[in-house]
Each structure stands twice: as C-alpha cells, then as structure tokens.
Amino acid sequence: MSAITTLSIATSGRGLTEITDQVAAAVSHARLDEGLCTLFVQHTSASLVIQENADPAVCRDLEAYFQQLVPEDSGLWTHTAEGPDDMPAHVRSALTQSNLSIPILSGRLMLGTWQGIYLWEHRRRGSARRVVVHAK
C-alpha cells in the first residue's frame, strides 16, 4: 500500500518553514506500519532540509550564513529576468536538496529527537510551494 499527497505550503519570504506536522499527518493517513516517506519540492528556488527544531536560532543562523555564501549582488549572475534574488535562489537550491527520504516505523517518521523537516524558501517574496509526500 502507498499514498501520495501534495502539500501546499505558504511561505512569507526567504527562510525556513517547518512542515514536520503536515508530513507526519500525511504519513499517518497512509496507514503504513513500516516503509519509507519520500518528499519532493516541485520548485527550483526552494529546497527541503532536516534540521534542529528545538532552537529557532538554528534556522536564523542558516539563513544568515547562506546570505553571505550566495549574495544577490555578487556580479556573477546573468540570469536576472525574474529579479535579482532569482539566480541566488537557484544556487541555494542546488547547494541543498529537492528531495528527502525518511524511514517509517510503527506508522511514524523515524526522525531524531531534535529533528524537524523544513521547506526552505530562497526567494525574498512569499509563495505557495508544493511538496509531494509519497509514503510506501
């Protein structure tokens, strides 16, 4: 048995949005005892990460680091038709992940104590992002 669900995640701009509860609900709905949950973000300027969810400073620090690592005004970008933050968003996405795999046991995601699943928006403006959840 398997289930596929597409989550719509509203972002408010650049930064990490925790989606652990939405993914866990989709896995619970699949009614699997054990298996694998695969996540895929259907965008090229956003990504998925598993990160600490106990201290919000972790997400702020990651965002601050990436702003220095991939600046908008680097002078390198030739793809500028969609705005000055678009190409840096693509680079950030390439440096992170578009998909994740998490084991399922006893109907639950096998995340560690301090782990959460995040959608990382790399554009300045908010957007509705789609994340496909496949539990099998």
88-104 pLDDT, tens per residue?
A: 999 999 999 999 999 99
At 41, list the tokens: 């973000």
Average pLDDT, stretch 22-51?
96
pLDDT digits (tens, 9 = 90+) for 60-70: 999 999 999 99
pLDDT reported for residue 73: 86
Distance CA 20, CA 4 (A): 16
> How much is the pLDDT for 69?
95
pTM of the entire predicted model: 0.95
Domain residue spans of the chain = 3-135
Tell me which CATH homologous superfamily contains domain 3-135. Answer: YjbQ-like (2.60.120.460)
Amino acid 38: pLDDT: 98
* pLDDT computed for residue 74 by the predictor: 78
